[in-house]
Chains A and B, each alone.
Chain A
Amino acid sequence: MHELEDQLVVCMKCGMCQSVCPVFDQTGREADVTRGKLALLNGLMEQMFDDPEGVYLRLNKCLLCGSCAANCPSGVSVQEIFLTARAILAGYMGLPVAKRLILRGMLANPRLFDRLTEWGARFQSVFTRPVNDIVGTSCARVMSPLIQDRHFRTLAPVPFHRQVPHLDRPAGRSGLKVAIFTGCLIDKMFPNIAHSTLKVLDHCGVGVYLPENQGCCGIPALSSGDLPTFQKLLGHSLERFERGQFDWLVTACATCTSTIHEVWPKMADGRHRDAATRLARRTMDINQYLIREAGLQPLTAPARNPHIVTYHDPCHLKKSLKVFNEPRAVINATPGCTLKEMTESDWCCGMGGSFNLQYYDISKGIGMKKAVQIRETGANVLATGCPACMIQISDMLSQAGADVAVRHPIELYAEALEK
């Protein structure tokens, strides 16, 4: 624990994190906000009380959205502290059985994970039924303790990696070439985002390197404190991407981008640190890449279906990477799309990966606030740069009975190319 001491002492307990924490906004409990969590870690370290399980539990009641860090006057490295502390505590107590099964049994073996989700995709229509065609969600046909009353996006019938297993397309007229890190959610739930990415890169004359048998970026493992699985996944990815020739590594998933860019260099073990840092430095969000590097131009073709689009800022783009202008620029470059801002567009949607599974009530409370703010704009399309946010917002909009389509900015632009 003592490796955390110097980082913990940076917190001056001013309490400003209370103003931005989505979980605290719902619960009003000090243990749910960063100041409280840091005090708990400090208390554990100074042996003021002895309850590592209780601290681990409270540490996990966090979206890892980074709103606190982005707003912290003292610059506390919140994410690094939390991820390290989760790893130390999980190492000390052992992971819960269910997490161990999912993380070490499935996620750590990309091929097995792929096979299992494909089987899942074949069976899901037996257990679920569509509820909202515009949002594109389903709900459980029968009572299910896992699904509860969620309205979820279903697994794609065929994942992206089956359709496009690998690619090595040379640089086109732009002279540029990127590598693509697909990301689990895009691969298995939103393959259209990956297809759209390929289409738009092609349109811009950018070459693509897409290695085979890609894995997970590792954040689910890390946020559960499973450092060994994270290191294994990191090694798996580095091996694949180090072989390719490309200028930038791009992803269309805010969480993957932020994990590679911010987390990999900090959490990689000695063996992988240099390679992870090198790759992290040339990793970029797809929107940012298109605007900053590829010079994406507005399309002039008249649009057949004008949309009012409102944009939700994923925490992992806005707060971790300060990317918020570029996704809007992509939307504005798309004919027929009129951007209309919602209030608090950068307030977290409440997803937070496994947080949504463990604390669905709180997650839903946060998400429903977002759904209301989306509906207030009158938009018929909600765009956001993160598939995890898309899952959460789809659930919320669908449960609210809203007819709002949930899309990634790149999908909108790619669609306009088709017309």
Chain B
Amino acid sequence: MIAESIVRQFKILVGEDNAWTDATDLHTYSYDAAVVDPVQPGLIVRPTTTEALGKTVRLCHENGLPLTVRGAGTNLSGGTVPLPGGVVIVTNGMKTILEINEADMYAVVQPGVVTAKLAAAVEAKGLFYPPDPGSQAVSTIGGNVAENAGGLRGLKYGVTRDYVMGVSFFDVEGNLVKSGSRTVKCATGYNLTGLMVGSEGTLGVFAEIILKLIPLPAHRKAMMAVFESLEKASETVAAIIAARIVPATLEFLDNFTIRAVEDFSKAGLPRDAAAMLLVELDGYPAQVEEDTAQVEALCRSMGATSVRVAQDAAERDRVWAARRAALSALAQLKPTLVLEDATVPCSRIPEMVAAIQRIARRYDLTIGTFGHAGDGNLHPTILTDKRNHAEWERVEKAIDDIFDEALKMGGTLSGEHGTGLAKCRYLEKETSAGTILFSSRLKRALDPKNILNPGKIIAAKV
């Protein structure tokens, strides 16, 4: 319970309509998209100006109230699950695109701007903001930056980190901190922007974000290749990259996922195919055509049973509709879906695919695998029912094993979903005791009362 007198002060800051304490409303901010237990906050605040945002942070600090910033709440690692009785700062009251600068190719946005809306606004001007996380239709730029979100285009275009030129943010006391600039080069001060990207709301609260834009590719070509074995498909992924071709997207679907998509969308996918690759090349028309021919030949020589290049935009859309349907289709099969994102170097994809198959057999689980094969970021998707406790224990063991395999191959626990609550206990495994110590000290120095989204990234002490 937050004292009525303190709630009053928040209401004065953001307006009566933008601060909620009704238990029923609070319950709707107790979760995000991760499979973790809900936690009831004590207050929801929705600032609509930068000034009110800063003062909200300060007020939390003065009263020692833990605060969690929330965009669209689509986080898959529990990063937006609040602290018991804590404050949730909702950013969707601040969703203005402040500037799209065509001459200098950058955009300045408030944290609550929806990713897909920015992408569309930028594209209308012939520019391109490539990061396209699966939740882009609702996810916010603030959330994307805080989680260093990825997407389908990582291999060629990188992830959110690669497009953040600068951020301004409030520190825990509500002081405005600025870093980076509107220039391509900027060598002044610490690279606080780099520190803030992926900090999951544990070091400060974003006020404005400057994003790099690039020219929109002139030409695109998509294709679909079908394989009779998982190995052949995954080896083809490695072969394409070894041939120095960098597709914009290079996606993988295993047989289980193909069947689920086909049952769900009747898109005409080959139900008996062991695996499929979906490839999109973009850039200058001549080069795209050349690369397309080369990838097609490569797929065939690696043993693809069929390769189909999309002839027009409609067919291209159908290829990607099949990919986009993957998660939906899998989600309909069982009540609980655990979407993992352990990532390995691209060349180790064949080994990782095989390891996931082994783990599924070992724990007698249904795991559909699809994802961004091109950048090593597969999504082993475990289908289960959390209410079945015996099976849930096996799921947790399988997740441990998937992490171990990824780390053994020089990979990482999370390619794009963040550490949050779900992965913080594994962090030392991937890094070192020294890393945890350094991170804890950094956190303590910048947030002495430990109120900025505590317990995320660095595990809460038990």
Residues of A within 8 A of B (CB): 9-10, 12-16, 18-19, 28-31, 36, 39-40, 43, 48-49, 51, 54-55, 58, 73-75
Collect the chain A residues with CB atoms within 8 Å of residue B332's CB: 10, 74-75
The answer, among A9, A15, A40, A43, for a CB contact under 8 Å with B33, is A15
Sample of 22 A–B contacts (CB below 8 Å): A9-B335, A12-B331, A13-B33, A14-B331, A15-B73, A15-B135, A18-B138, A19-B114, A19-B137, A19-B138, A28-B46, A29-B20, A29-B28, A30-B28, A31-B28, A39-B27, A48-B40, A51-B23, A58-B24, A73-B331, A75-B328, A75-B331
Given A10-B335, A14-B33, A15-B73: A48 and B135 interface contact (C-beta under 8 Å): no
Cβ contact of A31, chosen from B24, B32, B46, B116, cutoff 8 A:
B24
Q: Which residues of B contact A43 (CB under 8 A)?
A: 27
Size of the chain B interface, CB-CB below 8 angstroms: 35
Inter-subunit contact A49/B23 (CB<8 Å): yes
- The answer to whether A48 touches B46, judged by C-beta atoms less than 8 angstroms apart, is no
Q: Is the CB of A49 within 8 A of B24?
A: yes
B7 within 8 A of A: no
Q: Could you tell me which B residues sit within 8 Å of A by CB distance?
A: 20, 22-25, 27-33, 38, 40, 46, 72-74, 90, 92-93, 114, 116, 135, 137-138, 327-328, 331-332, 335-337, 385, 387
Please give, as numbers and ranges, the residues of chain B lying within 8 Å of A15 by CB-CB distance: 32-33, 72-74, 135, 138
Min distance, Cβ B216 to any Cβ of chain A, angstroms: 20
Q: Which residues of A contact B72 (CB under 8 A)?
A: 15, 18
B116 contacts across to A, CB distance below 8 A: 19
Using Cβ atoms and an 8 Å threshold, which residues of chain B touch A51?
23-24
A16 & B135 in contact (Cβ 8 Å cutoff): yes
Rank and list the top 7 A-B pairs by shortest CB-CB distance, nearest first. Answer: A73-B328, A36-B28, A54-B24, A30-B28, A19-B137, A28-B92, A74-B331
Using A9-B335, A28-B46, A48-B40 as known contacts, list a sample of 6 further A-B pairs with CB atoms less than 8 Å apart, ordered by residue number in A.
Answer: A13-B32, A15-B135, A18-B72, A30-B29, A39-B28, A54-B22
In the complex the two chains form, what is the Cα distance from A58 to B93 in whole Å?
A: 20
Q: A93 → chain B, closest Cβ, in Å?
A: 14
> B331 touching A48 by the CB < 8 A rule?
no
Find out whether the CB atom of A40 lies under 8 angstroms from the CB atom of B28: yes
Q: For A55, what are the chain B residues with a Cβ–Cβ distance below 8 Å? A: 24
On chain B, the residues within 8 Å of A12 by CB distance are: 33, 331, 336-337
Which B residues touch A39, using CB under 8 A? 27-28, 30-31, 38
Residues of B within 8 A of A19 (CB): 114, 116, 137-138
Q: DSSP majority for the B interface?
A: loop
Shortest Cβ gap from A307 to chain B (Å): 30
Interface hub of B25, B32, B40, B385 (most chain A Cβ within 10 A): B25
A73 touches B327 (CB 8 A): yes
* Bound CA span A118–B336, Å: 54
| Nearest CB on A from B371, distance (A) | 16
CA distance A73 to B337 in the complex (A): 12
Most buried by B among A29, A39, A48, A49: A29
Distance A200 CA – B114 CA, assembled complex (angstroms): 46
Bound Cα distance A40, B28 (Å): 7
By a CB distance below 8 angstroms, the chain A residues around B28 are 29-31, 36, 39-40
Q: How far is the CB of A62 from chain B (nearest CB, A)?
A: 14
A29: chain B residues at CB < 8 Å are 20, 25, 28
B24-A74 in contact (CB<8A): no
**In contact, B33 and A48 (Cβ under 8 angstroms):** no
Shortest beta-carbon distance from A81 to chain B in Å: 14
* Among B30, B90, B137, B138: residue with most chain A CB under 10 A: B138
B328 touches A49 (CB 8 A): no
Query: Considering the chains assembled together, what is the distance between the CA atoms of A13 and B38 in angstroms?
Result: 11
* Chain A residues near B90 (CB-CB < 8 A): 28
How far apart are the CA atoms of A39 and B20 in the complex, in Å?
17
Give the Cβ gap from A3 to chain B, nearest Cβ, in Å.
16
Q: Say yes or no: B31 contacts A13, CB within 8 Å.
A: yes
Kindly identify which residue among A28, A31, A48, A74 contacts B25, using a CB–CB cutoff of 8 Å.
Answer: A31
A58: nearest residue on chain B (CB-CB)? B24
* A40/B27 contact (C-beta < 8 A), A10-B335, A15-B72 known: yes
Query: Smallest CB-CB separation from A75: which chain B residue?
Result: B332
Q: Which residues of A contact B135 (CB under 8 A)?
A: 14-16
CA distance A16 to B327 in the complex (A): 12
Question: What's the Cα separation between A19 and B140 when bound, in Å?
Answer: 11
Which residues of chain A come closer than 8 Å to B93, judged between CB atoms?
28
Report chain A residues within 8 Å CB of B74: 14-15
A49 CA / B20 CA spacing, docked (Å): 16
| Cβ contacts under 8 Å, A13 to chain B | 31-33
Smallest CB gap from A9: residue in B:
B335
When distances are taken between beta carbons in the complex, the residues of chain B under 8 Å from A30 are 25, 28-29, 73
| Cβ-defined partner of B27 (8 Å) among A10, A14, A18, A49 | A49
**A136 to B: closest C-beta gap in Å:** 35
Q: List A contacts of B331 (CB < 8 A).
A: 12, 14, 73-75
Minimum distance in angstroms from A362 CB to a CB of chain B: 12
Q: How far is the CA of A107 from the CA of B46 in the complex (A)?
A: 41
- When distances are taken between beta carbons in the complex, the residues of chain A under 8 Å from B327 are 73
Question: CA separation between A73 and B321, bound complex, in Å?
Answer: 12
Give the CA-CA distance A13 to B331 in the complex, in Å. 11
**Do B328 and A74 have beta carbons less than 8 Å apart?**
yes
In the bound assembly, the distance between CA atoms of A12 and B338 in angstroms comes to 10
Q: Which residues of A contact B30 (CB under 8 A)?
A: 39
How distant is A89 from chain B, measured CB to nearest CB, in Å?
A: 13
B388 to chain A, nearest CB (A): 12
Residues of chain B within 8 A (CB-CB) of A18 are 72, 138
What are the residues of chain B within 8 A of A10 when measuring CB–CB? 332, 335
For residue B25, which residues in chain A have a CB less than 8 angstroms away from its CB? 29-31
Q: What is the distance, in angstroms, from B135's C-beta to the closest C-beta of chain A?
A: 7
Task: Kindly report which residue of chain A lies nearest to residue B139, judged by CB atoms.
Answer: A15
Kindly report which residue of chain B lies nearest to residue A55, judged by CB atoms. B24
Contacts of A48 in B (CB 8 A): 27, 38, 40
User: A51 CA to B72 CA in the complex, in Å?
Assistant: 25
Kindly list chain B residues whose C-beta atoms are within 8 Å of the C-beta of A14. Answer: 33, 74, 135, 331
- Give Cα distance in the complex from A73 to B23, angstroms: 29
Q: Of all chain B residues, which has the CB nearest A30? A: B28
| Interface-centre pick from A19, A30, A40, A51 (highest chain B CB count, 10 A) | A30
Cα distance A28–B327 when bound, in Å?
A: 26
